[in-house]
Amino acid sequence: MLLFIVAVLIGGLVLGALARLAVPGPDPMPLWTTILIGIGGSLLGGIIGHVLFGRPGGFLLALLCSIGLVIAYRRFVQGRTVTGPRSRLPP
């Protein structure tokens, strides 16, 4: 059980970090938020894949959902724009 929890945390960290790298501009957020975004993107990608394709989504769908969560975090939590010159300003 402990190994499963560690694997989920590491997977969430990797997926969240890749999603943060895919969105241009600074994203000052703590490590735990990055992990939660990665785990949330993985769960959301799995649900969307199951609904659309009848089987869980793969890594690409989880990454796309994580990118969407990073964009939503930037827009609604940090209150910054997603594109344009204001997206590069620190919050």
Which tokens go with 51?
């609904």
Whole-model pTM: value is 0.87
**12-65: pLDDT as tens digits:** 999 999 999 998 877 788 999 999 999 999 999 999 999 998 888 889 999 999
Write down the pLDDT at residue 25.
78
